[in-house]
Structure formats: C-alpha cells, structure tokens
Structure 1
Amino acid sequence: MRGGRLLGALLPVLLLATGCGIRATDVVEAGEPATVEVASGGRRSALVYFVSSSSASRLMPVVRTMSPPESVDGGAWTDNGLSGASAALYLLFQGPTRAERDSGLRSELPTGGGLSAAIELSSVGVKVTIGMPVTGLSEAARQQLVCTAAAASTADRTEVVTVIGTEGVIGPTHCAV
C-alpha cells in the first residue's frame, strides 16, 4: 500500500520531468504576417496609407474620418466635410495622428496642409496631379501616394495609378500592398 502511494505521488513529478515526449525546437519561420482587408468607414471617411516603423517599407492602411480643416487646397469643402478623392490626399499629407505615431506609424511624405492635389479617374486608370516634386520620393513615399489614390478613387487597389508632380511623373504603377 505504501509503495502505491509513493508511486502515485512520484508519477506526476516523473511526467513533468520527461516533458511528455515533446522536444524543444528552434523558432520556425512561416512567412509574412497575416493580412486583412480594410474598408473605409463610408462616405465620411478615407483610407490612407502610412509606413509601419516595424518595417522600412511595410504600408499599413488607416481609416480616417473627414473633419473640417482650417483651410483646404485641392479638395472641395461641403457642409458634410471634405469631399471627393482629394480628401484622402489631404489627410495623407497631414501625416499620422499622435495616436497613430504612438502605435508605430509614420509617413515618408512631407507633411502640411498647403499642398494642392487632385485625383481623377479615367479609362486608363487613376491620375494624380500634385503640386510638389515627386521623382525624388522614396519607394515607401511613392507607395503611400499610389495606394491612397487607388483606394480613394476605386475599390480596386490594383488600379493603375500615375502621379504627376511639378518636375516629373511616377508610373503608371500599381499599389504593392
């Protein structure tokens, strides 16, 4: 009887010590992190793309609510707020909010509200005309522009986008996200 109690008391300790036959392994790389589709919140919001600080070139979509700015160049102002696809570019050039920066998002585009920009959809894709030099922008900044313009103009991020700046043209190209 005494041997049975001793065996019963030692059995859990022996099982824990042996690890139930599971051997330790190194970390197994399994590819890129999971992705999800993000849709804008409707007529009064826009989808803009910022760069994740965790990766030099990984873009993250952010749904922004359109609220009255002090002054708007390149967008139409209505009683309901900023309207049209130009609103998305206006919001993009405002840069990430404090909360977005705290969560690790940044922009590689110059920030500020005095920039004129227009987006139009044609039979050959999305055309963005912007009042700044564009050919010297980093690839991440170019993709911020292209992805935001494609999402603002169509539901299809694979739409061909051409960005026309003050000294040159980017594209035609596609959003890489």
Structure 2
Amino acid sequence: MRRSRTGVLALLLPAVLLPAACGVRPSGVVEVGDPALVQTVPDAAHGGVAVYLKGPDGVLPVIRDSGGKATTGQAVMMLLDGPRDVDKAAGLTSELPSYFGAMGMEVDGTTVRITVYRPVRDFSTVARQQLSCTAAHAREESGAVTVVLKGNDTTLTLERCPF
C-alpha cells in the first residue's frame, strides 16, 4: 500500500503548525511584587518555639523544638545559640553578638526585661528585632509584649515586633 505525499503532508502539517498557532511567544521569568510572607505560629502544645533570624528581607521565624512549653528565657537562649547549620544553608544569619556572658531576665505582665553585661547601644535594628520578636512570641500575648534591653551602657525599649 502506497501513501500519497499529500496524505503524509496532511498528517504532518497540524503537528508542525500546532505549536506556532497559539501566537504566544516564550518569555523569561517576570518578577512582580515582593515575595509572599506567611505568618507561622509555633506549636507550643508540641514543644515548638519561634526564634527570629535574619533573612534576606528582615527577620524570619524559625521553629525550634523545646521539648515542652518553653519559657521566654529558654526562647531567648535558643536565639543566642545562633543559627544552626540548616539555617545557614538556607541563608539565615544572626546580627546578635555571639558572646553575652551572664544574662538576666524578668517577666512582669506584658513587659520582658533582659539584662546583659555588655554594651547594647551598638545593636543593629535587626538584632533588636530578633530579640523583640523572639521574646514577644514566646509569651502567650505575642506581639503585645514590651521588651526592655538593659546593658552596661544604656537601657533600650525595643520596638514591638511587627509580626
């Protein structure tokens, strides 16, 4: 059985023209707007606590396993331990100094007072946000908490956590 050329062309023509027929040309990725933000809530019932690390666009919550309901002091100590290897691999860092020495903490209602025995005036805005958000979200009142940071050189009332 011999097929005619016209029959073969008739079968091939739609396969060749179909991709070009839609009129849409390929393009590269077009970025629009800022990246999406998702508020995460640590599962305190299962021993989760949020510590805030520096990401590409500010501070981000990272959930740490606390083995039970964490106190505000435990949450801050987890923050001061710094980013873990998996956090570093994801591009997260900390602007908090690595050495604090002794530290005191007092929780009075919705005020958390953190006392460190080192100067605090030089803490960056990001470092202050890391402390403020970690301490605020370790409390049940979350963002309604005022965090006061006292050092050898000054006492700072940190801005409320924006989350």
Residues 84-110 of structure 1, C-alpha deviations (whole Å, 9 max, x = no match): 211011111110112222222111111
Counterpart of 1:62 in 2: which secondary structure? Answer: strand
Instruction: Give the AA of the match of 1:126.
Output: T
Matched with 2:62 is 62
Name segments (4+ residues, structure 1) moved above 4 Å. 24-27
Greater share of helix = 2
Matched with 1:116 is 103
Residues 115-166 of structure 1, C-alpha deviations (whole Å, 9 max, x = no match): 31314143xx433222132221111111101110110123432544332333
After superposition, where does 1:1-177 map in structure 2 within 5 Å? 2-16=5-19, 18=20, 20-25=22-27, 27-42=29-44, 44-52=47-55, 55=56, 57-66=57-66, 83-112=70-99, 114-122=101-109, 125-131=110-116, 132-177=118-163
Kindly name which structure, 1 or 2, has the bigger radius of gyration based on alpha carbons: 2
Q: TM-score, normalised by structure 1?
A: 0.74
Counterpart of 2:37 in 1: which secondary structure? Answer: coil
Structure 2: 5+ residue runs without aligned partners?
A: none
How far residue 3 of structure 1 moved from its aligned partner, in angstroms, is 2.3
Structure 1: 5+ residue runs without aligned partners?
A: 68-79
RMSD of the alignment, in Å?
2.7
How far residue 26 of structure 1 moved from its aligned partner, in angstroms, is 5.9
How far residue 21 of structure 1 moved from its aligned partner, in angstroms, is 1.3
Residues 62-90 of structure 1, C-alpha deviations (whole Å, 9 max, x = no match): 111236xxxxxxxxxxxx7x952110111
Counterpart of 1:34 in 2: which secondary structure? Answer: coil
Matched-pair identity in %: 31
Number of residue-to-residue matches in the alignment:
158
Q: TM-score, normalised by structure 2?
A: 0.79
Counterpart of 2:22 in 1: which secondary structure? Answer: helix
Distance 1:137 1:42 in 2: 29
